[in-house]
Amino acid sequence: MHIGIEASRANRPVKTGVEWYAWHVIQQLKALPGAAKHQWSLYSNSPLQGGLQSGPANWKERRLSWPPRYLWTQARLSWEMRRRPSDVLFVPAHVLPVISPKKSVVTVHDVGFKRFPEAYKKIQVAYHEITTRDIVRRNARIITVSEFCKREIVELYGAKPEHIFVTPLGLDHDRYRPQTVRPEKPYLLFVGRVDKKKNLITLVRAFELVADEFPHLELKIAGTFSGPAGLSTTGAKELMEAIQFSPYQDRIDMLGYVKEEEKPALLSGASIYIQPSIYEGFGLPPLEAMACGTPTICADSTCLPEVVGEGNALFFDPKDTEALASAMRRILSEPTLREDLIQRGLARAKQFAWNRTAEETLRILETW
């Protein structure tokens, strides 16, 4: 069987959640013995890099040049599927080309744009709405990352449950493990794409409520304001104003984009990792923090209780700033609770691995 994968997202030099998902699944698929009986093509609009260019002999790069900045998937990949279609096409990022094989599989990471359109640019909402409806209309197989997301796709788009397969994300356990880090000052940490859904103003306000009680404590926010296809995310202005006018602004540090190899030390050094999101499809950073031995606080919204697991973190109502501040106080002042959360988090994180994600993905791609 010839299986093609849209690899342009995995090939981006600056990666956030969706891009790392695509990269890890591709790299783990290469290592699976069961994948050796198939022929694989990685379709991209630029030369493969970052390890994607290497692999077994049955994996080939298919570079499809397309000078315009947009519509590579819909236009150029569609043309390739008309000329030289694969038996199965896998798109790990929420959109099918206009022309695709009958056996097509696409990953829908979440439908937050439908629940919280105010957190996206209008063009992003319109684009994702069109592409999601198209995926469901064409009866493509849908991979999603949590049972929560599966329910959302069924409820909001009328997708057939039997067409949706849940494959939880994984962790790189060689990278994400406890490291000995002694920061100059204790700090709270958030890592991820910075947008309105992440609810970071609530995080800033909660930090302000505990700042006087813990005078050496800092807040670090790591992430980029750049969304899909280079579009800026929403909420940047409001967040920066909240920080600018905070009486503790000199203790709040916007780190910008952090390279993957730098994240484990950053996570390991944090006193607490905090995921205050209003909406998440999976929420990988809390698991990465837990794998690094960092106690975690999560909003009790959407998929987070499912993924992180009850009892493995402290949860709070994402609209309740005082509840988040109270959770911070508990971990910072109760050593027994802190140690319990560390041990529970380490055990929970071990349940997620990219090779398992790839094994489930292979089964979906080859069993029809």
Summarised one tens digit per residue, pLDDT across range 73-110 is: 999 999 999 999 999 999 999 899 999 999 999 999 99
Residues 343 and 359 in one domain: no
User: pLDDT-derived band of residue 38, with 50, 70 and 90 as boundaries?
Assistant: very high
- Residue 232 is predicted with a pLDDT of 58
Q: Domain tally for the chain? A: 2
- Domain-located, residue 343: yes
- What is the mean pLDDT of the segment spanning 329-340? 98
Residues 213 and 139 in one domain: no
- Domain-located, residue 182: no
The answer on pLDDT for 174 being more than 90 is: yes
How does the average pLDDT of the chain come out, rounded? Answer: 94
- Domain-located, residue 178: no
- Residue 68 is predicted with a pLDDT of 86
- Domain-located, residue 175: no
Residues 89 and 31 in one domain: yes
- What is the mean pLDDT of the segment spanning 146-165? 97
Residues 10 and 152 in one domain: yes
Domain of residue 296, residue span: 187-349
As a whole-number percent, the residues of the chain with pLDDT over 70 amount to 98
Taking CA 55 as the corner, what is the angle to CA 53 and CA 59, rounded to the nearest 5 degrees? 90
- Residue 119 is predicted with a pLDDT of 80
Residues 24 and 120 in one domain: yes
Residues 159 and 199 in one domain: no
The answer on pLDDT for 330 being more than 60 is: yes
User: pLDDT-derived band of residue 51, with 50, 70 and 90 as boundaries?
Assistant: very high
User: pLDDT-derived band of residue 297, with 50, 70 and 90 as boundaries?
Assistant: very high
- Domain-located, residue 16: yes
- What is the mean pLDDT of the segment spanning 23-42? 97
Residues 80 and 164 in one domain: yes
Query: For position 124, which CATH number holds?
Result: 3.40.50.2000
User: pLDDT-derived band of residue 34, with 50, 70 and 90 as boundaries?
Assistant: very high
The answer on pLDDT for 316 being more than 70 is: yes
Residues 159 and 200 in one domain: no
The answer on pLDDT for 229 being more than 60 is: no
Its pTM stands at: 0.91
Residues 246 and 344 in one domain: yes
Higher-confidence position of 231 and 9: 9
- Domain-located, residue 40: yes
Residues 224 and 361 in one domain: no
Distance from C-alpha of 129 to C-alpha of 209, rounded to nearest angstrom: 39
- Domain-located, residue 88: yes
The answer on pLDDT for 282 being more than 90 is: yes
- Domain-located, residue 249: yes
Residues 225 and 149 in one domain: no
- Residue 15 is predicted with a pLDDT of 85
The answer on pLDDT for 226 being more than 90 is: no
Residues 217 and 248 in one domain: yes
